[in-house]
Amino acid sequence: MTTLSEGNRLGPYRIVRLLGQGGMGAVYEARQEPLDRRVALKTLHAEYAGNKDAVARFFNEAKTLSRLEHPSIVQVSDFGNAADGTAYLVMEYLHGQSLGRRLRDFKASGEQLPVVKTLQFGFQIADVLAVAHEQGIVHRDIKPDNLMLIADAVAPGGERVKLLDFGIAKLTHEGDKGGVKTATQTVMGTPSYMSPEQCAGAGGVDAKTDVYALGCVLYEILAGRPPFVAEGPGQLIGMHLFQSPPSLASLAPKVPEALAELVHRLLTKDKARRPTMSESADALGRLLSRQTGGGTVVRSRPVGSADPNVGFAAIVPTPGTTLGRSVGQQAGGAPRRTLLLGSVAVALLGGGILVASRSHSHHGTGLLPVSTPPITSNRPIIAPAIVAPPVPALPSAPTTQTPTMPVAATQPTVAEKPRATVLHPPGQNTVSRPLNRAISPKPPGASSQLPTKQPPPPKKQIGYVPL
């Protein structure tokens, strides 16, 4: 195994440093000289340069990544062979850390990733894998170290998960395999995250394999350890094939029950009973919506889909949120009930006003003028609208306090100052001459016709005294 050193060149790319390496290749930080652009450069180890299947698989990764146009998949800009025959693949350089590194740091400090952050990461992983499955691509190596976390203001929680390393991806469409064929009994993957069918051989691997691996990743985030822990890969493979993982609730009792149930569904031994990756993304989106107070979680649209509605999951807001109570929105039947009660109240009020109006009209009809004493008041004098001529007083009758007409209710009657006394020759009697008439209730048999004019307020009487 040979590695490149700082300053080495592969075509226009200058090596800066080694980022990491595996059994078949290595990844370097490099500079693309003409543009002075930082890139990640992946190479195939020299001992595999003569292996046609290995080279074909390596370049298939480049073709696969170039087909998957998605913000959560690392982008490929170039690939080829250097002058010395080294196969290389050029990808975007990512600033961040892997999910595996994040989990190791949290475990060392005794912390744990919050449930909301777990759902945000899980939803993004499921969403991008659903897009890959639509294109007939199975990753086959989903694990925390192949999930890169980078800052992204528009991603849920401000961090985007980038899916790396499609080196052992399985292409299910016959025309996409590029001459690469994996033996049926070949075991490929990372044992801690391999599905039962993957442990049994490559023949049974399909999209449900990635679903199982996602369940393993979520289990590890929530419990702080993978579903199975053993000394070697053989034991791990046996556990995946024949044992059930410990209950997530027993290791992480604070995890919401619905989330724990979903993780165990993803880890079902029978792949036919596991949900699809698209169903898993929908379920994680609904749980994320509940944890964050309701809202809509948007799914990615599959590449090449002509239906504008395909790939969008509208999450129904959970009870207890303010959604549906904003201006212009309706929340249940409350507004209709309020409108009905308001209509009844208005009808009752209108009826009461009508009855009161008729009652006042009845009391104010057919009234006879009688003499009545003035009513004292501290309010200012209000001039009458109409002044009636003086008329002789009626025969003396008991003075009664009568109800005021509705029309004159807003004009209070007040006492006036005494007028000057007029002196007459001796022998004349003193006669009381009221200048106006008051209103009294209608006697029986009187006419019910309303007076044509409003009566003026009462005035003081004028008396005559002998000289």
* Active-site residue flag, 141: yes
Strand, coil or helix: 88: strand
As given in the structure block, the two tokens for residue 339 are: 């409108």
How many of the other CB atoms lie within 10 Å of CB of 74? 19
The 3-state secondary structure of 322-341, one letter per residue: CCCCCCCCCCCCHHHHHHHH
| CATH 3.30.200.20 in the chain, residue ranges | 12-92
Q: Which CATH fold would you assign to the domain 96-291? A: Transferase(Phosphotransferase); domain 1 (1.10.510)
Handedness of CA 442, 443, 444, 445 (dihedral sign): negative
Distance CA 268, CA 257 (A): 17
pLDDT for the residue 61 = 78
| CATH 1.10.510.10 in the chain, residue ranges | 96-291
Q: Which CATH superfamily is domain 12-92 in?
A: Phosphorylase Kinase; domain 1 (3.30.200.20)
pLDDT for the residue 416 = 47
Pairing of strands 159-163, 368-370: unpaired
Model pTM?
0.63
CB 161 within 8 A of CB 194: no
As given in the structure block, the two tokens for residue 318 are: 């959970």
Distance CA 130, CA 158 (A): 21
Catalytic residue among 78, 105, 127, 141: 141
pLDDT in tens, the chain (467 residues): 577 889 999 889 999 999 988 778 899 999 998 888 999 999 988 888 888 888 888 888 777 777 788 889 888 889 888 888 888 999 999 999 999 999 999 999 999 999 999 999 999 999 999 999 998 889 989 999 999 999 999 888 899 999 988 777 676 644 444 444 444 445 678 999 999 999 988 677 899 999 999 999 999 999 999 999 998 999 999 999 999 999 999 999 999 999 999 999 999 999 999 999 999 999 999 999 998 887 777 887 655 554 555 544 444 444 433 333 333 333 344 444 444 556 656 666 666 665 555 555 544 444 434 444 444 444 444 444 444 455 555 555 555 454 444 444 444 444 444 444 444 445 555 444 444 444 445 555 555 555 555 666 665 555 544 54
Give the angle 244-248-254 at the CA atoms, nearest 5°.
175
